[in-house]
């Protein structure tokens, strides 16, 4: 039956005013600014193709969905690697990065998969997702890991190292220099001449070389980070920011895999309801769902819905007809059908990637999806 929740009729701008998650608030504002509710599923196989596609489709999308483990040539360097380069493109074109990891394991394991390992997903992906077949507790585990990470990266460590030979204008009766009121003892073999009788430091009066007193000082302080990004000016284009909106906050967000578009999906109504409960229990971390319909039902629900399986027929063909699946279980619907059922962001992969002109096709999907959204809120 149709969902008549208020979020079905509210504009993204209005929903941004009441969104509880900082990243949800930012995404809704970005969608309004770019007139886009399109996510590109960048299921390519090389890092070069991934970066090329993100750059070309970037102006039309608000989310780039990745599968980093599909990519050959992924550079894991945290400052100059593939994740950092995607981050620079995200700032340049105005989109968020969503690593479609679908975590599903015990809490400790998913925490490590999220924050450690070779990819360190949490460092470069604004959003990730979870399959709660392992239990709702996995959502809490990921939320805990994200909170600890956020607390740690809020500050930069400033380290100062000074090395040198102390210099003083005063000496004690034995000729030893006093620095800041403290007596400096000579090291083995050091003569009084070294400490101020006119002979140069390190040279005894008989011409033999003596040891030199030196002081090394290391100080560390924690200062608030001046930018919400992790790496600054490390990769090409990192200083370019999409006009009209600030950088995305450093908060991380989660989408819960509540429903799928594949034929024969085993996700029951009970499973989906458990997803809704987990989202409400962790509103500070959960942005919304990967789902096939709007799951908002309580007055305070303002979760964002993303939906895969979106496809348009070729230009000029009727959009009301039945779209063929891919033969591997994936079922397709048009942007109008999906957004009419309550999704906010349509996820498109092969429809754009396999097109002769991916950049132009991304723009066609953006226009169609945005038109469907406007029609929904104006009904």
Binding site for substrate: which residues? 43, 65
Of these residues, 14, 49, 55, 105, which one is catalytic?
Answer: 105
Is residue 109 within 8 Å of residue 82, measured between CB atoms?
no
**Angle of helix 269-281 relative to helix 137-153, nearest 10 degrees?**
30
Return the bridge partners of 41, or none. 65
Q: What is the dihedral of CA 147, 149, 154, 156, to 10 degrees?
A: 160
Q: Which of 85, 92, 100, 341 is catalytic?
A: 100
Is 92 labeled as catalytic in the residue annotation?
A: no
End-to-end CA distance of the chain: 17
Tokens representing 141?
Answer: 């585990």
Give phi and psi for 14, each to the nearest 5: -70, -40
Is the CA virtual torsion 285, 262, 11, 274 positive or negative?
Answer: negative
Residue pair 252/127 in contact (Cβ under 8 Å)? The answer is yes
Angle, CA of 169, 175 and 176, to the nearest 5°: 75
Tokens encoding 19: 């969104």
Residue 296 CB contacts under 8 Å (≥ 6 apart), including other chains: 3, 5, 7, 302, 303, 305, 342
Half-sphere exposure of 49 (CA within 13 A, CB side): 16
Catalytic residue flag (residue 85)? no
Q: Which residues pair with 305 in a beta bridge?
A: 289
- Single out the catalytic residue among 102, 136, 337, 371: 102
What is the DSSP pairing of strand 178-179 with strand 182-183? antiparallel
Is 75 among the catalytic positions? no
- 308 and 314 Cβ atoms separated by less than 8 Å: no
- List active site positions: 100, 102, 105
């Amino acid at each position: 039956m149709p969902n008549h929740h208020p979020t079905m009729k509210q504009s993204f701008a209005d929903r941004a005013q009441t969104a509880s998650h900082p990243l949800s608030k930012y995404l809704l504002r970005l969608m309004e600014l770019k007139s886009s509710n399109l996510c590109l599923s960048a299921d390519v196989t090389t890092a070069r193709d991934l970066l090329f596609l993100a750059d070309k489709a970037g102006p039309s999308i608000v989310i780039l969905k990745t599968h980093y483990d599909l990519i050959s040539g992924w550079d894991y360097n945290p400052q100059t690697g593939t994740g950092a380069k995607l981050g620079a493109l995200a700032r340049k074109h105005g989109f968020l990065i969503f690593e479609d990891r679908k975590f599903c394991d015990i809490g400790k394991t998913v925490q490590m998969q999220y924050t450690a390992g070779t990819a360190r997903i949490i460092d470069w992906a604004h959003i990730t997702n979870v399959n709660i077949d392992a239990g709702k507790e996995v959502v809490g585990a990921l939320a805990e890991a994200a909170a600890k990470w956020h607390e740690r990266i809020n500050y930069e460590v400033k380290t100062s190292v000074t090395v040198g030979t102390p210099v003083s204008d005063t000496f004690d009766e034995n000729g030893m220099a006093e620095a800041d009121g403290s007596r400096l003892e000579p090291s083995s073999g050091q003569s009084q001449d070294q400490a101020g009788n006119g002979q140069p430091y390190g040279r005894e009066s008989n011409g033999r070389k003596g040891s030199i007193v030196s002081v090394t000082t290391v100080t560390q302080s924690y200062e608030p980070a001046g930018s919400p990004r992790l790496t600054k000016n490390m990769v090409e284009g990192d200083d370019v920011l999409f006009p009209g909106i600030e950088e995305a906050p450093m908060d991380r967000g989660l989408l819960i895999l509540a429903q799928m578009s594949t034929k024969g999906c085993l996700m029951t109504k009970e499973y989906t309801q458990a997803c809704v409960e987990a989202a409400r229990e962790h509103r500070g971390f959960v942005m919304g769902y990967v789902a096939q319909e709007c799951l908002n039902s309580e007055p305070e629900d303002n979760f964002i819905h993303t939906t895969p399986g979106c496809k348009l027929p070729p230009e000029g063909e009727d959009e009301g007809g039945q779209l063929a699946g891919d033969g591997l279980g994936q079922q397709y619907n048009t942007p109008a059908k999906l957004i009419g059922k309550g999704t906010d962001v349509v996820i498109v992969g092969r429809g754009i990637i396999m097109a002769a002109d991916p950049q132009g096709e991304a723009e066609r999907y953006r226009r169609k999806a945005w038109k469907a959204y406007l029609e929904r809120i104006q009904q």
